[in-house]
Amino acid sequence: MSDSNPAKLWQLQWHEVLNAYPDPDGGDSVTPEPLPELDGDFRLQFNLWQLPREARRRAFAILPCGDEMLKRVDQHLSAHREPLEAEQAAELLRSGLRLARDAGMDVPSWDMQIDVLSETDVPLLEVFMRADDPFYRLIDDQSDRARAHYGEAGWDAYFFLREPLYRFGGNAYQVADWVLWPLCSGPGAVDLTEARYRLWQGGWSPGWTGEKLFIFDRRQEFGLS
Angle made by CA atoms 11, 17, 20, in degrees to the nearest 5 = 140
Q: 2 pLDDT exceeds 50?
A: no
CA-based nearest residue to 118, from 223, 224, 221: 221
CA-based nearest residue to 107, from 145, 137, 128: 137
Question: Which pLDDT does position 196 carry in this prediction?
Answer: 98
pLDDT tens for 162-190 read 999 999 999 999 999 999 999 999 988 99
According to the 3-state scheme, what is the secondary structure of the chain?
Answer: CCCCCCHHHHHHHHHHHHHCCCCCCCCCCCCCCCCCCHHHCHHHHHHHHHCCHHHHHHHHHCCCCHHHHHHHHHHHHHCCCCCCCHHHHHHHHHHHHHHHHHCCCCCCCCCCCEEEECCCCCCHHHHHHCCECCCHHHHHCHHHHHHHHHHHHHHHHHHHHHHHHHHHCCCCHHHHHHHHHHHHCCCCCCCCCHHHHHHHHCCEEEEECCCCEEEEECCCCCCCC
- Tell me the pTM: 0.95
pLDDT tens for 22-72 read 999 898 899 999 999 999 999 999 999 999 999 999 999 999 999 999 999
Work out the average pLDDT over 113-138: 96
Q: Is the dihedral of CA 174, 179, 182, 188 positive or negative?
A: positive
Work out the average pLDDT over 196-214: 97
pLDDT tens for 72-95 read 999 999 999 999 999 999 999 999
